[in-house]
Amino acid sequence: MKLLEGETPVFDRLEIFRQAYGLARHAVERQSVIARNIANADTPGYRARDIPDFSTTLKRADEPGLRLSRPGHMRATGNEATYPPHPTDDPPSPNGNSVSLETEMVRAAETRREHEMALAIYSASLNILRTSLGRK
């Protein structure tokens, strides 16, 4: 296949894999926040937390901000959450705890579905890539 000047092969721009990875990572981090909420369901004064949905964080990633633009820049340590949690608007119980186990179970089901979708996208894209290369 002959490329025009300035054109790059499609395989050099596999954005779908990056998006699927980002969706899976978002699901993993959200599941961690949900598990922490459930673990603190009986802790007086604990405020339930959640992270913004993936589409919101994806839009925010397109906004200008601090980015690694050359090799000499310092990288993050990796200990920071990519999607920082924030307190939810759930009403607190008399002891000040705002965790609702029913709400957390619904969020956990949503998160599982999100993770399964990310894996399905990744798998389907990988199959398409293999097929286009003539491999099974």
pLDDT (tens digit per residue) in 3-56: 556 555 555 567 888 889 999 999 999 999 999 999 999 999 999 999 988 888
Q: Is residue 15 part of a domain?
A: no
Residue 102 predicted with pLDDT over 70? yes
Residue 80 predicted with pLDDT over 50? no
Give the burial class of 39: count Cβ atoms within 10 A of its Cβ; 0-12 exposed, 13-18 middle, 19 or more buried. Answer: exposed
The number of domains in the chain is: 1
Q: Is residue 120 part of a domain?
A: yes
Query: Which domain covers residue 120, as residue numbers?
Result: 32-54+83-136
Q: Which residues contact 122 (CB under 8 A, 6 or more apart)?
A: 17, 20, 21, 24
pLDDT score recorded for residue 77: 45
pLDDT band at 86 (very low <50, low <70, confident <90, very high): confident
Of 26, 25, 17, residue with least CA distance to 53: 26
The reply to whether the predicted model has a pTM over 0.75 is: no
* Rounded CA separation 16/122 (Å): 8
Q: Is residue 108 part of a domain?
A: yes
8 A C-beta contact, residue 123 and residue 133: no
* Highest mean pLDDT out of 8-12, 64-68, 92-96: 92-96
Of 78, 54, 74, residue with least CA distance to 66: 74
Q: Residues 92, 94, 97, CA angle at the centre, nearest 5°?
A: 40
Q: Which residues contact 96 (CB under 8 A, 6 or more apart)?
A: 44, 45, 46
* Rounded CA separation 69/50 (Å): 30
